[in-house]
């Protein structure tokens, strides 16, 4: 996927953007487990970039995915 989209190795900002877009697509399709995987990648990238807002968005959207799955643990 990364190779087809032209993301170079080490381009964390673009990888974070791709992870966010893929998470939105999966969330819209109702595939919350897959969306959580992409959101965890977004969170990791945001922490590497010291992007606190991006990390907060990732954590919030992870919580929303678990809520939509009725997984409250």
The pLDDT tens digits for 20-47 are 999 999 999 999 999 999 999 999 999 9
Q: Domain limits of the chain? A: 30-73
The verdict on pTM exceeding 0.75 is: yes
The pLDDT value recorded for residue 3 is 45
Q: Which is nearest to 38 in space by CA: 17, 53, 56? A: 17
For residue 73, pLDDT beyond 80: no
Contact 54, 42 (CB under 8 A): yes
């Amino acid at each position: 996927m990364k190779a087809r989209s032209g993301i170079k190795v080490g381009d964390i900002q673009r990888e974070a953007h791709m992870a966010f877009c893929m998470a939105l697509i999966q969330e819209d399709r109702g595939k919350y487990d897959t969306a959580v995987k992409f959101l965890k990648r977004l969170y990791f990238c945001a922490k590497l970039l010291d992007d606190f807002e991006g990390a907060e968005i990732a954590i919030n959207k992870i919580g929303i995915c678990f809520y939509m799955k009725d997984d409250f643990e």
